Structure 1
């Protein structure tokens, strides 16, 4: 914030809005109609649920798992992120008993024979391929695909498509997402592929209304929007300060004080990088009243007694005495678990987080603070799309704890307020197939499938369904996919990974087991003895 800010105030129009802040009346939980419809659907068929974050999709999953468990069956809950997987493992352990829940990620494998498995989507794909190779049935009765919009992810979407193509039809699939625009198209493909109905259940209403705010550099909080346009004072500011918007570095501690003054905490600050999250803590200073929250200190001490090595964590003082924390993929898993637990219990004032938190880790806040309208996509920064934006906004407003949630936009060099306004009213984006042939896919399919079966699969892929207006065109698209697949196959033959009968050689079999994005690179290095032995 600018150094000229000597006072903090709110626009008079916000007084009525802020008067709505508070906890809704308590009462017994009553499922919403869409939740009951989805539960009824998954008992008999596949089901795709599209509902805002916090609307109660997890309740549907838990009830479906419970019903399968009651019948002696097994369930697989697949998520795209290790952070979300770890959170669900703890959550389901509390819900169903720890001995009934196992976890499978690239880092962790515990209780793998449990009736409920929580794991990353890639691990589910690997288990599916292994079962196909051995001619065995995948020993599950229900598969839940969380964050199903990853089907359209450029890097990983093909994994989702492979799973949906090859899962046995006897296993019902429950797909969950907050941000899919073409649910009927996906359901149509699944129905045609699997020969059974896929019911689409949609809920568009947020459980907690969202109100967008703007933090003016002069120290005033005002509405970001007037009806569907930017607030006049925001427009005036943009006219005076053309982008790139030059402002001093944000004083995070001061912003937290302002939010606290107007009862807008707890808050999640979404920042660009892990380094920014850690650096933000430095501007947060403890106050007398902050560190004297007895129930917080009791719960914190109990956790530290179980994991005493965390007492030396360099950020513990900020957690304990300022009740703020940094949360990102570079933190120790148990530290992140501690932060998540303290946030869920309502002990923390704010956390500074990367976008990982938006993608499903379950600890909503009253307010989301946004400094940037772009996001790192793995290779570069690009403008937020509606899926990414609505995932972040889904964290604002806690069902059962808040009557209203808030977005606070803070101006800066990387904040395009006009783009933010568009995103606020944008509909969820359509999902497009990302199916493509790569060596990992070819190797894994050849473990259990003959080429003629694979050709049939490509013809019935979501890619062929989506871009083929009719059956004839779908077959033509499937043929193009097959031609690309054959080129990969020819290379594998030439390099000795596949024999003349299109079966994997010994080298091909162990290359397929690498489960890497570029298995041939590693396989060739191993064959050529290119790695140092010490």
Structure 2
């Protein structure tokens, strides 16, 4: 790891390391001998597989199912405790009565997994999916989809003056209400959902469930119960790896010492010398660590690392550490073959050799969704020894292990490194211990310059952090609310926000409450600011009603709806060239500052002229937006060029290599571009040429390996 700048506080970093590790073992790395503190002997004696007993639901599960007969319900329970069982039983009751259910999740991968799971339970023809990429059986009685799609359906229902066509809504990963980027979608969904539709929310990490339930009770007029379960289905034991190879208990013995370090760990962190791991340059000795874990039957393991490059480089250090039997190699080979039969690109993945020869894999956003699914399948089926992942895998992906290993007590938030909070650490350690496969799970902290063991002990004994409101006003929200509401009615909706309720609830005196009653005015003033701009630009008339432009622009539920709308109004989109259309839309979805210095061969002149023309024609509109205080993202040429190349038939490997983008990032760019194109494709009655070309562009970019198998043909109907 890079040294922190002189004078910087220990344990904090200003910038992520950019060093590329070559995977060579450092000459300073020693082969230490696996050992364990005597206190761990009794703990390790609990390792093993629990007896196979008939399933009996826990008290909290039956309590939650019963609560849903007469109220809404927010269930908080540790990862793997069985929250999905509650959802299935609640959906089954609606399904058996001839009703309809909507199951919303934050991740497309999780939604796809639920489609398979629910299809086995309710029948393939009874379950549909709506994610943007996929639209199958939209009239099925059970729908799984992303929360954004559910929110958009609520917009449409309000516009049409009808109630959402469902009798139950399940919001999985309900703590996304506090997500900085997407929390607004969860909050809008909860505010707009008609009170007649019962709401079941599931989460492992909510520190203020009672406040959320009280808010929902207040705005929906029906009670919302909290059902909480704090006991993990598989107990967690935290440990520390001494640099000499000895496993130590993290905490001192006894319940009263829950936050106090074990005496040997205390000596370790209080010593004048940094632990040996932190003095090594390059990567930790993963092979040696695997040998220690193997010696005490602590595998399989998930290693949480700080960067994608570290995850990839770690694989080279694992070969020979835990040899695989010929039988296991054969099973892995056979499983990979079946999983990649329809994808030559995945079948020849450069990391396949690590799976087959060492039983280890990397899992992070830089990999293709299809490859991550291969890794998840192998890990879930117990075929892998270890997975090296970034902390993002802690939320939403289901492949627990016996042990999780982490090296840092901080994380990079996109700007700087900040300490982990209780919620993030609970999500990571929630993967330790497999229900039905383990009697105990382990969290192993490896000391180093960016590991604060006292903080880790404190966080493990803490409850998850409180969820806060992330509601904010944006142009898509304003346009869609004006489809069915007057500004006065919108103001009443904004008074129902979680942010307003929290401030009201925290006001102690009635006089304070009177002043706090106007807190919604921040949102209301922001709404009015957006409304004024829409009037200035012809999307709303003087009577606060949408103009004809405003009506069709409301359907552009995309990242930058007004810029896309202005392109349509001025006829700037290349509506006779689908590859160029794809490239242009990639400009609108790109969020990163990009280096636009490209070799001439990588940027066709026609595309460059098109993007330059759009940039110039939008200059006046963009300046107007900025003058009114709205952010306008710059349109970069690089994402347009790489998307155009892929849409034009350029080989995938060449696109990723020539334009310098990780496969996972490139696939995400294509999927988000397709999502944005779909909204223009839906404007067939208003802009027929652009709509047809947008539909064609989707087909050009949504192909293997961006999507695999039948998914490649399903996006066109979404």
Do the structures match in fold with TM over 0.5? Answer: yes
1:332 aligns with 2:368: yes
1:100 aligns with 2:141: no
- 1:487 and 1:307, CA in 2 relative to 1: closer, same or farther beyond 3 A? closer
Q: What is the match of residue 410 of structure 1?
A: 446
- TM-score, normalising length from structure 2? 0.71
Mean Cα deviation higher: 489-498 or 408-417: 408-417
Is residue 455 of structure 1 aligned with residue 486 of structure 2?
A: no
Larger radius of gyration: 2
Quote how far apart the aligned CAs of 1:55 are: 1.0
Could you tell which deviates more after superposition, 154-163 or 480-489?
480-489
Change over 3 Å in CA distance of 1:449–1:423 after alignment to 2: same
Of residues 257, 261, 272, the one that matches 2:306 is 272
Q: Say whether the 8 Å CA contact 1:5–1:217 is kept in structure 2.
A: no
CA distance 1:327–1:4, change in 2 (3 Å): closer
The equivalent of 1:292 in structure 2 is 327
3-state SS, counterpart of residue 275 of structure 1: helix
More strand by share: 1
Distance 1:259 1:505, change over 3 A: same
Asked if 1:152 is matched to 2:178, the reply is yes
Report the Cα offset of residue 192 of structure 1: 1.3
Secondary structure, in 3 states, of the residue corresponding to 2:68?
helix
Contact 1:7 1:219 in 2 (8 A): yes
Deviation digits for residues 240-283 of structure 1, max 9, x if unmatched?
33599433311223322221121001111112232222222222
**Among residues 536, 546, 549, which one is paired with 1:494 in the alignment?**
536
TM-score (norm 1): 0.94
Q: Does 1:212 align with 2:238?
A: yes
- 2:265 is the counterpart of 1:234: yes
- Contact 1:24 1:403 (C-alpha < 8 Å) held by counterparts: yes
What is the count of residue pairs matched by the alignment? 534
Deviations 1:302-322 (A, max 9, x none): 434465653212211211221
| Contact 1:291 1:320 (C-alpha < 8 Å) held by counterparts | no
In 1: Cα distance, 2:45 partner to 2:236 partner: 14
Partner in structure 1 of residue 168 of structure 2: 142
Kept in 1, the 8 Å contact 2:302–2:403? The answer is yes
Seen in structure 2, the aligned counterparts of structure 1 residues 300 and 32 have a Cα distance that, compared at 3 Å, is: same
Distance across 2 between alignment mates of 1:233 and 1:531: 66
Whether the 8 Å contact between 2:479 and 2:550 is mirrored in structure 1 is yes
Partner residue, 1:246: 279
Q: For residues 444-463 of structure 1, what are the alpha-carbon distances to aligned partners after superposition, in whole Å with 9 as ceiling and x for unaligned?
A: 21122211111111112211
Q: What do you get for the CA RMSD once the two structures are aligned?
A: 2.3
Mapped partners of 2:415, 2:318: distance in 1: 31
Is residue 511 of structure 1 aligned with residue 553 of structure 2?
yes
Distance 1:476 1:423, change over 3 A: same
Cα 1:211/1:220, change in 2 over 3 Å: same
Is residue 180–residue 430 contact of structure 1 (8 Å, CA) maintained in 2?
yes
Say if 1:143 and 1:445 are closer, same or farther in 2 by CA, change over 3 A. Answer: same
1:117 aligns to 2:152 (yes or no): no
Give unmatched runs, 5+ long, in structure 1. none
Counterpart CA distance in 1 for 2:251 and 2:145 is: 41
In structure 1, distance between residues paired with 2:287 and 2:140 = 45
Q: Does 1:397 align with 2:423?
A: no
Out of 272, 280, 293, the position equivalent to 1:259 is: 293
Contact 2:324–2:359 (8 Å) recurs in 1: no
Q: How has the CA–CA distance of structure 1 residues 83 and 381 changed in structure 2, closer, same or farther, with 3 Å as cutoff?
A: farther
CA distance in 2, matches of 1:385, 1:45: 32
| 8 A contact 1:290–1:321 mirrored in 2 | no
Q: Does 1:376 align with 2:412?
A: yes
Is 1:347 aligned to 2:371, yes or no?
no
Shift of 1:378: 4.3
